[in-house]
Structure 1
Amino acid sequence: MKNKIIHILFALFSAGFIFTSCTDYLDRDSDSVLSEEDAFKNFNNFQGFVEVMYNVIPDVAKHNWVSSFNWGDDEVITTGNGEYLMGYAIDGGNYRSYIGKGDCFLDRSWTVEGDRFAKSLWGGGWYAIRQVNVGLEALQNGLLKDATQEERNFLEGQLYFFRAWFYFQLTSYWGGLPYMESVLAPDAQFNLPRESYQENAEKMAADFQRAADLLPVDWDNTTTGSRTKGNNAFRPNKIWALSYLGKCLLYAGSPLMENGGENSNRSYNADYCKRAADVLGKVLAMVEGGQTQYALVDFDKYSSLFYTKEQNWLMPGGTEAIMRSPTYGADSYWRQMNSYQLAAICEGDGIILCPAANYVNYFGMANGLPLDDSNSGFSKSQPWKDRDPRFYNNFIYDGVKMIKAPSEERKIYQYANLYDGGNCCDDPRKSSRTGYFNYKFIPLGANRDDSDYGYGKATHFHLAWLRLAEVYLLYAEAAAQGYGSPTGKSSTFTKNAVEAVNVIRRRAGVADVASSYTGDLEKFMGEVRRERAVELAYEGHRFNDLRRWKLLTEYPYNIKTVQKFDRAEAFDPEADAKERKVINFREEIVTQRKLSGKHYWLPFKTDDVTMYPEFYQNPGW
């Protein structure tokens, strides 16, 4: 590393190498390296080095034909040919079966220049952390000769952000790790011990804060960013850094990180939560004060958070998406179409990721009450009436149209026949196992017969890693737990915890949190957890939420159910599906997960935990 540096410019991806572990650094041909003097001499070259790290951010929702990335109590997978998916490994408690199989973004065969849908958090994360330290060392050694102070700040800020962010992702799944803050020489003896999660969190927090201090709110409004104006939305900025700083601190104060997974203590660390609320409140105050480029999208544009159509492959997310990975391709019409629909109307291999009925139950009533509240108005004879508007946005339920213009062969599937024995739920291998289909990420018409959608229509699916709605909900949780009350608030923001939740509900047309849930902290936390389940449904958050709340192993969070019923009247395709009446409505368990304390953290590979004694395995594995 004295005279040459690996992978300097984004344009040199073709000279990439396979990252095999955090201690293996392969020798390179002289044609695939640049001298340090050239690599870091000016802002443009140095920025090219930084942007290699953008390319290793995983895309959790795209891999092969079907992508399993929701591993909480939210999804049931069809049987017969989907058992290789990560969801099955989680349900069975056999976390080790995901290792090295290639079907999960956590850990798979990985290269910088490889399959754009095969980025690996484990390999890519360690690679990026090392690259950060290489870059920071270059700055400290004065290798950057030709740059303004603003340019230097932006380079340094990006590096600190990426080190913290990749550590945050890694530690969220595996727990505390060695926190590397300098370049490890290839011949050095590596024996840094694993730290606790909270020890790591303090170092992540320091890095996120450094990034926030160095980065602008909006690159477009700076001299440096003006050269790429209009193309800066995917660059780390002050809002990214502060939002993740708050999330990092809330995670550090959450029950799992505070108490460990081997006991029943579910208390929070109030100090961490107060710190989180202060930072998140600052972000929200800036947003509501019009000092940022971010805002909640109107509910009539809600689907644009997840997919766009006929907009020249416009990246979804609008003004609400904070952090998004770069798009690695936009053939998402095929991937999502085949992940969520009845096999008979799509073009996949029959695997369907079905919304678990118990999870659908979190979508309460438009009056703001949960289904099991005696005043909610929920009726088992009309189970889809007057529900939270997000219910209708997310799910296909019995009687809803699935095909606009079906072929003669598929007319029998035009409407979802999800009653007991209906042709949309009669085969656990090719139809719904739960009584529902997930349409949050695909529009009506994404099927074999309708011509409105498809690659030629530029239907683009992409999930943000963090969006503004989650910042409101993180703040609500942190303020309530930090200050011990649903009306808890930080001095950095005008709204208290209840009011922050209500911002998200009102956007969707849902009534505020009822007063019967705002006088008691635990009752309110039930509504916070439910609101996260509804607003962030199927965006890859639930598994980590259940783990950090220490609810993954607890009833009713360890079951997945199906809803069965018979139609009470003859089917009329012109009738409003919301008003349909049913009889014999019942709910049955499809899967009950037998998980224990060890399942709160993922296991390491045997090769990792035998490198040296200080790098030990997680408990129980």
Structure 2
Amino acid sequence: MLKEIYSDSGSQNKKSKRNCTFKVMKRKWILLAMAALAFSSCELNETPKATATEEDVFGSENGLAAYSRSFYGMLPDASNAYNRDAMADYGAVNNLNSFIREGGYSPETSDGWSWGDLRNINYFIEHCTDPNVSEAVRNNYIGIARFFRAYFYLDKVMRFGDVPWVDHALGIDETDILYGTRDSRAVVMEHVMEDLDFASQNISSTSSDGSLITKWTALGLKTRAALFEASYRKYHPELNFQESANTFYQYVVDAATELMENGPYSLYTGAGVEGSQRALFISDAPLTQEVMWAVTMSEDLAVMSSANWWWTSATYGPRYSLVRPFINTILNLDGTPYTSRTDFQTEEFYDECQNRDYRLAQLIRTPGYSRKGVAAPPNFSSHTYTGYQPIKYILDDPHYDNGAYNTNAIPLMRYAEILLNFAEAKAELGTLTDADWAKSIGALRARAGITGGLTTLPTTVDTYLQQTFFPDISNPIILEVRRERQVELALEGFRFNDLKRWKHGELMANLQWSGIYVPALNVLMDLDHNGSYDVVFYDGNTEGPTIAVPSGCAKVAIGGKSTNYQTLTANRHLEWFKAQPRKWYEDGRQYLYPIPSTAIVKNNNLSQNPGW
């Protein structure tokens, strides 16, 4: 019965399956030393079965390096790093995640309560004591281990809230811990800060090709972890931790300031305003001017991702389509809100894409986008429901669309995030200055070609942004920082946790999954104005369009017997999945995942999260 909190439980997702079986890294390494394999274990009270002696592993820097690389198996990999925003309020998909369906998720189906990675890390820290290796070298690798312990626990707190804090490899007789209760998130997150402080102060590497962590990565993770905890405490008064929120906001500011002033990073601008942001996601080698940490691919080692396949397939992927309320928040080039255009509700696709922040054209297919020299407007035949078809992670050659062929590196952390974390923390503290704005939000907008409002703090509330997304926020600075975050980091895996920490989970159920404006049915539409018709929408109660439709033009039914998923809003915008309501419970249970029932059966000292 010692598996209670330390063995895998529930159905496992791709990430948690890697807790018991270490896989070869999706990096540039061909093999890892057998020592790294020897000390990976499924349970925290299980003695590892060694194929190398402890002296082999812990008695040399090479042994420590080999072992430390086993920690990287915790990270998103080639199979899933590109779809971390698979469940988000702004992503319309062909099948609702069970977590946002009424009755679709429960403690019986929950997972993620797996602890093998922690056993591996703690065993290393506990045994990295051999005096034959200098203290500085040992502390470097202990710093790496503590970085990954912080990463592990941040994920657990984001998912479950209170969790057991364990800082050593447990023995079989430590039943008070093995069958203990959960520790408060307050305790756990203070330890996370301590681990990241140690990591940033002791990891010796200050530069990397993007695949290995450095002291700067540790500082970056501290800004991410502290920002999550600060805002969760501020916007979740039921925790009674609001008084300590500013302490964590200050952690963000301090770590970000050190990184910004002393680190080697800056925003990448080498591809100009029209292409620099997207270049970060389609380059084979990480663009380390900005990318601090990445999943790298290798065609030679057959380590490639399915990014194109997932984002462009009608069957392999979810036909992920961004939605109009989110697209509406992307600014005009002059820095004014798009929704300040008097006719924004009736602009057709071509017109709404003109004179916008250049990140719009780097995020979705817009007029002028092509693949291998062929115009490629939004593909309603098989790829998009709303007309806003993402391109952020995909390579433009269709060759990559039908399998695991992608070689582009996928950023896990980049300098842009640090700027956003810094700006948000200072905005929440009320200390963001014009100079701070200019070097963070202003710099990001300038990189995207925006010309207005780059050097002074905003003073006017954008009522569309406020009413649609954040009705509880009246501070124009905080609103604009949040706008910038959701635009700059779109599809990078932050959105769901952002909504949770801001206590706006209701957007997961309520944000309208609408799309482009459709002026009339049975009208051929040339979406990119290149002289070729792309789509015609028709009444689904009929057999098809009432007009002749040229070859290559998609025919999409609106409502009717063939489908009730694709409909039109009252103001004639596409709407997807209205017939399948999404659910966010009023009691707020979905801000935390339930503890898997199998874990509670094994240990009745574990309490269930509220509402579950």
TM-score, normalising length: structure 2: 0.74
**Counterpart mapping for 1:24-423 below 5 A:** 25=46, 28=49, 32-59=50-77, 62-63=79-80, 67=83, 69-78=85-94, 83=95, 88-92=97-101, 96=105, 107=112, 123=114, 126-139=115-128, 142=129, 144-189=130-175, 190-216=178-204, 218=206, 233-254=210-231, 256-258=232-234, 260=236, 269-287=245-263, 292=264, 295-298=267-270, 299=272, 300-308=275-283, 314-325=284-295, 327=297, 335-341=306-312, 343=314, 349=316, 351-373=318-340, 380-381=347-348, 382-397=351-366, 403-404=371-372, 415-416=376-377
Structure 1: segments with no counterpart, 5+ residues = 1-5, 108-121, 220-230, 309-313, 407-413, 419-423, 489-494
Task: Say what the alpha-carbon RMSD is for the aligned residues.
Answer: 4.1
Please state how far the C-alpha of 1:324 moved relative to its aligned partner.
2.5
Contact 2:106 2:594 in 1 (8 A): no
- Specify the SS of the correspondent of 1:52: helix
Indicate if the aligned counterparts of 1:304 and 1:316 stay in contact, CA closer than 8 A.
Answer: no
Distance 2:519 2:306 in 1: 32
Q: Report the CA distance between 1:391 and its aligned residue.
A: 0.4
Residue identity opposite 2:122 in structure 1: N
CA distance in 1, matches of 2:598, 2:199: 33
**Maintained 8 Å contact 2:234/2:245:** yes
Unaligned 5+ residue runs, structure 2?
A: 1-20, 24-30, 462-473, 538-570
Other structure's SS at 1:544 match:
helix
Query: 2-side partners of 1:55 and 1:304: how far apart?
Result: 26
Partner Cα separation in structure 2 for residue 379 and residue 323 of structure 1: 42
Query: CA offsets per residue over residues 90-133 of structure 1, 9 Å max, x none?
Result: 332556379879xxxx74xxxxxxxxxxxxxx54xx32322222
Matches of 1:505 and 1:355, distance apart in 2: 21
Shift, 1:598, TM fit: 0.4
Q: Are the structure 2 counterparts of residues 338 and 564 from structure 1 closer, same or farther at C-alpha, using a change threshold of 3 Å? A: farther
**Hey, what does 1:510 align to over in structure 2?**
450
Residues 599-620 of structure 1, C-alpha deviations (whole Å, 9 max, x = no match): 1111221122333344322111
Distance 1:469 1:378, change over 3 A: farther
Q: Which amino acid aligns with 2:458?
A: Y
Deviation at 1:301, TM superposition (A): 3.6
User: Hey, what does 1:461 align to over in structure 2?
Assistant: 408
Please state how far the C-alpha of 1:11 moved relative to its aligned partner: 2.5
State which drifts further: 540-549 or 554-563: 554-563
Work out whether residues 417 and 489 of structure 2, in 8 Å CA contact, stay in contact via their aligned partners in 1: yes
Change (3 A) 1:328 1:164: farther
Aligned to 2:552: none
Residues 339/356 of structure 1: CA separation in 2 closer, same or farther (3 Å cut): farther
2:591 paired residue number: 600
Q: CA contact under 8 A between 1:42 and 1:145: conserved in structure 2?
A: no
- Aligned mates of 2:83, 2:213 — CA distance in 1: 26
Q: 1:372 to 1:336 in 2, by over 3 A?
A: same
- Structure 1 residues 16 and 557 mapped into 2: Cα distance closer, same or farther (>3 Å)? farther
Structure 2 CA distance for partners of 1:99 and 1:285, relative to 1, 3 Å: farther
| Structure 1 stretch displaced more, 362-371 or 522-531 | 362-371
Residue 374 of structure 1: CA displacement?
A: 5.9
Cα deviations across residues 377-397 of structure 1 (Å, max 9, x unaligned)? 897252111111010111114
Q: SS state of the match for residue 96, structure 1?
A: coil
The letter of the residue matching 2:66 is G
**SS of corresponding position for 1:465:** strand
Structure 1 position 609 matched with structure 2 position 549: no
Match of 1:425 in 2: 380
- Are 1:487 and 2:487 counterparts? no
Please state how far the C-alpha of 1:159 moved relative to its aligned partner.
1.6
CA 182–516 in structure 1, closer or farther in 2 if over 3 Å, else same: closer
Distance 1:247 1:155, change over 3 A: same
Identity of aligned residues (%): 21
Residue 395 of structure 2 aligns with an amino acid whose one-letter code is: P
Shift of 1:587: 5.5
- With structure 1 as the length reference, what TM-score do the two structures score? 0.73
Conservation of the 8 A alpha-carbon contact between 2:34 and 2:52: no
Distance verdict in 2 for CA 1:183–1:401, change over 3 Å = closer
C-alpha contact (below 8 Å) 2:228/2:498 kept by paired residues? no
